[in-house]
Structures are given as structure tokens and as C-alpha cells.
Amino acid sequence: MAATIKPNATSDDTVKSIDDLIDSICDEFESDLLRDGQADISSFISRVDGKFAPVLFSELMLVDLEYSVGRGKAVSKEDYLRRFPDYSDVIETTAYKHSWPPSSSVVERVSPATEITRIGRYVLNERVGAGAAGDVWKAYDPLLQRTVAIKIPNALRLSDADLQRFLREGRAAAQLHHPNIVTVHETARDGATAYIVVDFIDGPNLRSHLSVQRMTSGDAAELCATLADALHYAHEQGVVHRDLKPANIILDAAGQPHITDFGLAKWAGDANEMTMTGQTLGTPAYMSPEQARGESATVDRRADVYALGVILYEMLTGQCPFAGSQAAVLNSVVHDAPLRPRVHDKRIERDLETICLKAIEKSPDRRYATADDFAADLRRFLDGMPVHARRVSSAEYGARWMRRRPAVVVATALGVAAAFFFVAAKRLTDTNRQLLGLQTVLLTSSPADAEAVIVPLSDSDYRAEPNTEEIVRGRTPLSVDLKPGNYLVVVALADGRFHEVIRRVPRDAHSIPGRYNHVYWTVAPDGSIKLPIIDIPPLDVTDDMALVSSVGPSASSGDELAGIEKTQPFYIDANEFTYGDVKDRIEGGKWPKSPNWPTKNPPTESDWFHCNFDHAMHDAELVGKRLPTMEEYATAAAAIAGRGDSTIQAGVDASASAVDLRPAVSEWTTSRLPIPIASDQGEIADELTSIRQIRLACGDAPPEASLTSIVHADGVTAFTAIRSNSAAIGFRGVRSAKPRFIDP
């Protein structure tokens, strides 16, 4: 089943299915736990579509529980229920075991599958492993009277490609008979269910083992030498694993490793090779550079040598050579040199460090040619003999760096030649930046690589007209120098998705930001300003909106629409959302909560009923829309009444008759106020209150709000709102028919 990924998902195109996505998210979650000692499950759940969230939560909870128990931390069901009430059903169907040994499951999940007592001739005894793709059971073979392990895929989410990969694992591993490779006894079906029967190894995987115990250099070298022997045997049989990682290595009671999970293996006997050039398979942290470049169809045994080298690096230092998001890791695997292991721990022997670095060389030709060569050098180290690997000299290290970055080398040479002129130019640039008050701003979007247009507003009020003479263009992520002020930002993808939002660049980056996206920012370590990420909504965001086709008032409309500027076609919601509606939708999980609210003092119940203009701006952005201008509001009203050149075309669930622009409550718009304000009270308010503190609402004023009436064109009543504390005031979402300021 193909995954539906939210716009803010951090997965790459390399993730081809929901199983792959969930596995990769769990790997990242586990890496955060191992690195920082803690990780927020909630921040990871939002990376998948809602219907897959319970499955992802279950997997994340299992990883979190296993890590907690391994650290001696007691975690109760009540603790998870308190933290994650939305997933109470998942939590209630989990039975906890608060003891360790690593050789047993930390938890046993109760599901419909537990009702199955047999599959084929095998008797299922106990689930000993659970993952996104399926479960592993301890079972008994009555025919041969032995204990085995049975891998059963998750049929509810198993695509044809996943099933093919699952069956390939059995066929590939069945060719191998080695004491350190999990033996496959049978690949079979029981009705519609496929399964694989393998040796039962009573012990934890290497990932779990490393999470609770650091290995000595000697133990790490010995373990890697044993694994290298097993890999060399597999390679000689024509099988390349291509997904070697600690989670795929099981330790038995004697501490001996056993390689498993050949689902991505490449083998000479496979007539239906799945991979092709451009397809990236494997786990990023353990993936060779040639795999990371998408050359999976041409990789050979040296890719497994690289993965085993990364495992050795992790056993020696407690971490992988590269960390971060999938995209960051893949980029580093291809381009960046890893830190030497001794930078992490000076106790690591130099010869062992040299062996490890040779195994993870960027070029396959500079690695060990075979896993057997790798094992032989490790045993020379263990025996106290000189190793064949040689340390890279500083000169060679620099030469390799320059070969990987020829453009940087050229630029550096030019920079050295013109150093004096650059220093002078920098001083002049710094002086100009100080005079202009420029700030370095980082603008990002999800998905990334969107065309971006940054349009300054004519003054510091974000209701002002765009200043089209100073437009900045680029692609996200975009770093640009901007003056303090408010900006209209438009980001658009090639497939037609786009968003229009407001962002503020502060005069002082270290001042206190607002809690809403358009007035929020953070400061990066280098002093630059990071604006909130722009989540680009899907195309169907307008399905329940009405399209207003308009070019402004007609010649025959007289002065009825006087003062209303021409508008481009736009979509408008049939009904406004009051703040009572917003509260219900957010608490019901239908809309996201503000990511910038403080965690120590979160909003109270009364905050839902403290309606303000900034809240409306923020909530409209979260659902992929924006607030209407007064011109758009009046144009839509004219379209309904049949005045001007405006028409409303019915959307999927909206029509002209369904659009109600005169509700019993008022709603916010983003238009500027007429000056002078058309009332004595308004003029007084203008004297007492800055124009930037006054907001504009239209509709009928609720009695509890402090509003001053203004008669606007087309008979639409507007209000200057100085303050309001009513759940009756809401907002109506609007979207431009096409992204403004971006050429089609």
C-alpha cells in the first residue's frame, strides 16, 4: 500500500512504501534516543498520514519501551495513557514485562494474530519480534521436533512489491549454510499467508545489545572478524546483503553473531532482480556512497564491507559516522569525510582506527577488496601483528578532499589570489549591512525545492500593499539578507501546490518573538534568523471552497463598488470558522496545534475564547489558507448579488447559494482601514491607538467585542476591532486561484 505522506514529512523519494517510511522513522527515533537519551514520540507521529499514525505509534512505543527498560527505567501503561490519550486503544492492547534479559521480548503485543495457534505444520508459541513489515514468532516443528523462528509479514499493509521482497529473502538466504548466517529452512504459504521458517536464535539483536552495553576494542574487532567471515562466504555464493546493520545481526547465548534479513539482497541466482539505477535501497546510516547515489543495481560485495566498517565504527565510538535527517546523512555519506574514531575516544588503538577508516573509504577501490581481507587485517590487529591498512597522510587527506570538491578548490585559489580585494569588499558589505539593518534569514518549505518569492510589504504593517519593486526570488531552502519588516512569501511546487503566508523579519533577532507563525522566529548558532517552515498544502485543499472569478467592478456598477480594487480569481470558504469551531477541531485532532506555543505554560481553556487577529492569521495558514482582504470579501458579496463582473463557480461542496458572507458573527480580514476612519469614535481610536494595533473585522458585531462600525463599499459593514474576547469571532479561509508573483 503506497504511503500518503503529510507535507511536513521528512522522507525522501527513496522511501517507496509505508513500511519503509515507518522503519526509517523508527530508526531515526532510535538514533535520537541513543544520542540524546530522549526523543519526543509526538514529533515523529506527525510524519505519516493519520490512518497510519496508530501503526507508527505502536512501533515507536516499542522502541521507547525497550530503550527505557534497557536503561533500568520503569515505564507503566498509565504513563503512556497519560501522555498519549489519543492512542489508548493501542496502549491497552499491549502487555508489559518490566524485566530484562535482552534475550526475551520486552513486550508482547496482543492483536488478532495472537488468535492463530498454527501456521502450516508449525505451532506458534510466542511472538519474539515485531516490526512495521510483520512479526517474528518462536514456533515448534512437530515433524522434526525442533524450535524454529517464523517470519510472518503484515498482510494488511503488504504490497505486491513488499511480498516479492519478502519471498526473495527466503530464496536468497536459502542458498547459504554458514554458522553465522541464520539458516532458512522453508519458504511457504498457508492459504493467503506467506511465511519463512528460519533458525531460532535466542538472543537480542546487536542494536539492542549496543543500547545497553559498550564493547571493548578487542570484542568489537573479534565480532567484526566473525561477521566478515560470514559475509565473505555469502559473497562467494553470489549473495550481497545490501542492508547490513546492527538490527539485522542477532547474538546468541554465547555472544556469537548471526546475520539475518536478506530482503534487499542481490544474488546471482535471482532472475527477477528488483533494483535499477537511480533506486536507493538500504538504511542511510549504513549505506555505501554508491548506494546513496542510487547505483544499487551495480553495487558489489564492497558495499557490505562498507556497512560492516560503519558497524565497527559504531561499536568503537557509540555512534555512526554521520547523523541527522535522511537527506543530511545521504549527503554526508557521499561527500563528507567521517571524524576519526579517536576523536570520539582516545583509547581506541591507532591500528584499529586505520582498519575501520579503510573499510569506510568513499571509493570502493580504496576499501578492502573482500570481506576476507577485512577479517584478516582485524585478526592481525588482535594478534599484535602489523596490519596491512595504512594511515592516510595529511597531504593525501587534503588531496582527496580537493578531488571531491573541485569547485571549492578553484574558488579557494581565486580567493587567495584576490584576498586583499575581498577583505576590503567584506568591510564595505558589513558597513552597508549595519546601515541598512539587514538580517540573514533562512526560509524553508515542506516539501523542499519549491520556487519562492519574497515580497516586502510597503510598511511594517502586514496588511499593507506588496512592494513589487524589491521582490526576492529563489528556491527553498533559501538564505537571503532582508531588511526588518513584514513580507508576503509565496512558495510553489512544480505539481501546482503552493502557499501564501506572511513572515516577519525582526529588527533585533534576540527580541522576544510572538507565538504565531507570522511573528515567530528562532536564532541559529551562526546568528541567522530561521523563520517557521512553510507547509505546502495538497491540491485538494480547495475541494470544499467556491471559486470567485473576478476582474473587479463593471462599468455599469456605478460607484456601488467604489474603492474596491481589482482582484484576481480566488477561492473562498462557504462558511467562516468561529473560534468555538477551531477549538473543537483542534481538540478533536482534525487540525494541528500551533507548533510555537510554549511547552512550559501551554494555552489554557480561556485562550480558546480569546479571539484575536494574529490567532486567525495563524490558524488560516495551518489549514493551507489565508484571510481574505476586504476587497476579496466585497467582491464575493458582489458576485452573490450579481453585481460587477464577478461570478461564483460551484466547488465540490460549495455553490453561490451556499456562500454566506453575512453571518450572525464577525470575522477578520487583512485589509487596511480607510483613513480617516468614518466615525467620531474611529477618529478618536486612531488618535489613541496605533493603526498597526487596529484590526479589521466584518459581519455582525457580537455585543461582547469592542468594535467601531464603518460603512465600506458594496454595503459590507466592517469594524475596527481594538480588542475582542469572543468565541463568536472567527475567520473565513481564502486561497488565490494561482500563486501570485510567480510566472506560470
Residue 8 has pLDDT above 60, yes or no: no
* Mean pLDDT, residues 321-343 taken together: 88
pLDDT digits (tens, 9 = 90+) for 618-627: 888 988 999 9
413 Cβ neighbours under 8 A, 6+ residues apart: none
Contact 238, 287 (CB under 8 A): no
Q: pLDDT category, 116, cuts 50, 70, 90?
A: low
Q: Read off the pLDDT band of 689 (50, 70, 90).
A: very low
Q: How many residues does the chain have?
A: 744
Per-residue pLDDT at 532:
93
How many Å apart are CA 202 and CA 141, to the nearest integer? 16
How much is the pLDDT for 159? 61
The answer to whether the beta carbons of residues 136 and 127 sit under 8 Å apart is yes
pLDDT band for 303, please (50, 70, 90 cuts). Answer: very high
Residue 654 has pLDDT above 50, yes or no: no
pLDDT, residue 609, reads: 42
Distance CA 119, CA 193 (A): 9
User: In the predicted model, what is the mean pLDDT of residues 71-89?
Assistant: 77
Lowest mean pLDDT among 127-131, 220-224, 736-740: 127-131
Flag whether pLDDT at 94 surpasses 70: no
Check residue 461 and give its pLDDT. Answer: 60
Rounded Cα gap, residues 488 and 629, in angstroms: 14
Helices assigned H by DSSP within 572-648: 579-587, 605-608, 613-622, 630-641
Q: Residue 379 half-sphere exposure, CB side, CA atoms within 13 Å?
A: 11
With a cut of 90, say whether residue 270 has pLDDT above it: no
Q: Is the pLDDT of residue 176 over 50?
A: yes
Band of residue 13 on the pLDDT scale cut at 50, 70, 90: very low
Taking the alpha carbons of 233, 235, 237, 240 in that order, is the dihedral positive or negative? positive
Average pLDDT of 394-421?
A: 55
Query: What average pLDDT score do residues 607-614 get?
Result: 59
C-alpha cell at 71: 536503561
206-404 maps to CATH 3.20.20.140: no
Per-residue pLDDT of 569-578, as tens digits, reads 889 988 777 7
DSSP per residue, 255-281: S-EEE---TT-EETT-SS----TTB--
With a cut of 60, say whether residue 302 has pLDDT above it: yes
Mean pLDDT for the stretch of residues 643-657: 55
Is the pLDDT score of 165 beyond 60?
yes
pLDDT-wise least confident of 142-156, 376-390, 520-534, 716-730: 716-730
- Where do the domains of the chain lie? 18-109, 112-199, 206-404, 422-536, 542-736
Q: What is the pLDDT of residue 68?
A: 73
10/3 Cα distance (integer angstroms) = 13
* pTM (whole model) above 0.75: no
The owner of cell 463557480 is 649
CATH value of 112-199 in 3.40.50.10420, 3.30.200.20, 3.40.50.300, 3.40.50.720: 3.30.200.20
Maximum CA pair distance of the chain? 98
For residue 267, what pLDDT band results from cuts at 50, 70 and 90? low
How many Cβ atoms sit within 10 Å of the Cβ of residue 716?
A: 20
What is the CB neighbour count within 10 angstroms for residue 122? 21
- Please tell me the distance from the alpha carbon of residue 309 to that of residue 315, in angstroms, as a whole number: 10
- pLDDT of 173 > 70? The answer is yes
CB 503 within 8 A of CB 531: yes
Q: What is the pLDDT, as a whole number, of residue 21?
A: 77
730: helix, strand or coil: strand
Highest mean pLDDT among 142-151, 402-411, 693-702: 142-151
- Judged against a pLDDT cut of 70, whether residue 649 lies above it is answered with no
Average pLDDT along the chain: 74
Q: Taking 90 as the threshold, does the pLDDT of residue 274 lie above it?
A: no
Q: Which residue has the higher pLDDT, 401 or 615?
A: 615
- The answer to whether residue 198 scores a pLDDT higher than 60 is yes
Question: What are the backbone dihedrals phi and psi of residue 10, each rounded to the nearest 5 degrees, phi first?
Answer: -95, 15
Helix (H, G, I), strand (E, B) or coil at 626: strand
CA dist., res. 299 & res. 95, Å (int) = 43
Question: H helices of 213-338, where?
Answer: 217-236, 289-292, 302-317, 326-335
Look at 9-13, 169-173, 669-673 and tell me which has the smallest mean pLDDT.
9-13
- Is the pLDDT at 453 greater than 90? The verdict is yes
pLDDT at 647 over 90: no
CA angle 282, 286, 292 (to 5 degrees): 60
Distance CA 301, CA 231 (A): 8
- Which position has the grid cell 575501520? 356
Q: What is the CA radius of gyration of the chain?
A: 31
Give dist(CA 56, CA 19) in Å, integer.
10
pLDDT of residue 663: 54
What mean pLDDT do residues 302-311 have?
A: 96
- Core vs surface per residue 646-679: b (16+ CB within 10 A) or e: bebeebeebebeebebebebbbbbbbbbbeebbe
What pLDDT, on the 0 to 100 scale, is given for residue 636? 80
How many Cβ atoms are within 10 Å of 335's Cβ, its own excluded? 13
Judge contact between 338 and 360, C-beta under 8 A: yes
- pLDDT band with cut points at 50, 70 and 90 for residue 251: very high
Order of strands across the sheet that contains 134-141: 118-119, 122-130, 134-141, 146-153, 193-199, 184-190
The percentage of residues in the chain with a pLDDT greater than 70, rounded to a whole number, is 63
Percent of the chain with pLDDT over 90: 24
pLDDT value, residue 306 = 96
| Confidence label for 470 from pLDDT (cuts 50, 70 and 90) | confident
Q: Predicted confidence band at 29 (pLDDT cuts at 50, 70, 90)?
A: confident
Residue 525 pLDDT > 90: no
Which is higher by pLDDT, 76 or 508? 508
Maximum mean pLDDT: which of 256-265, 292-301, 444-453 = 444-453
Instruction: Mark out the alpha helices in 596-694 (DSSP H runs).
Output: 605-608, 613-622, 630-641, 680-688
Check for a shared fold between 112-199 and 206-404: no
Calpha distance 534→476 (Å, rounded): 10
What whole-number distance in Å separates Cα of residue 476 and Cα of residue 533?
Answer: 10
How far is CA 171 from its chain centroid?
34
Q: What is the mean pLDDT of residues 687-696?
A: 50
Least confident of 28-37, 57-66, 329-338: 28-37
